[in-house]
Amino acid sequence: MKKIAIVAAGSMLFALSSAAVASDGESIYKSGTGPTCASCHDRGTAGAPRINEPGDWDGIDLDADALVESTMSGEGAMPAYEGRADRDDILAAVKYMLSTIE
């Protein structure tokens, strides 16, 4: 019985550590949504401001909460992510994107 409890506890810790990795902004940016943030923001598809390109973000409100709101509701060619992605995950991805232009 003790072995079962230890295995169960180990499985729980693995699941929790996997969840922590999944909430990492860069990993969410690359693969956490559909379509991914990277699919447009890496290349500037449809006018999306690119990561690592501060000039692309000129004239855009860089407030993370405002960017999350526009992501959830959709902006320009970007689809709305409301109901498609977790708000906290989007915030993590937005913070990652902003970190590349600071």
Quote the tokens at residue 79.
């689809």
Residue 47, class by beta-carbon neighbours within 10 Å (0-12 exposed, 13-18 middle, 19+ buried)? Answer: exposed
The CATH code of the domain at 25-99 is 1.10.760.10
28, 81 in Cβ contact below 8 A? Answer: no
Q: Where are the domains of the chain?
A: 25-99
Quote the tokens at residue 89.
């995950």
**Mean pLDDT, all residues of the chain:** 85
pLDDT tens digits, one per residue of 61-73: 999 999 999 999 9
User: Among 2-6, 19-23, 31-35, 39-43, whose mean pLDDT is lowest?
Assistant: 19-23
Mean of the pLDDT values across residues 8-25? 50
72, 91 in Cβ contact below 8 A? Answer: no
DSSP β-bridge partners for residue 78: 75
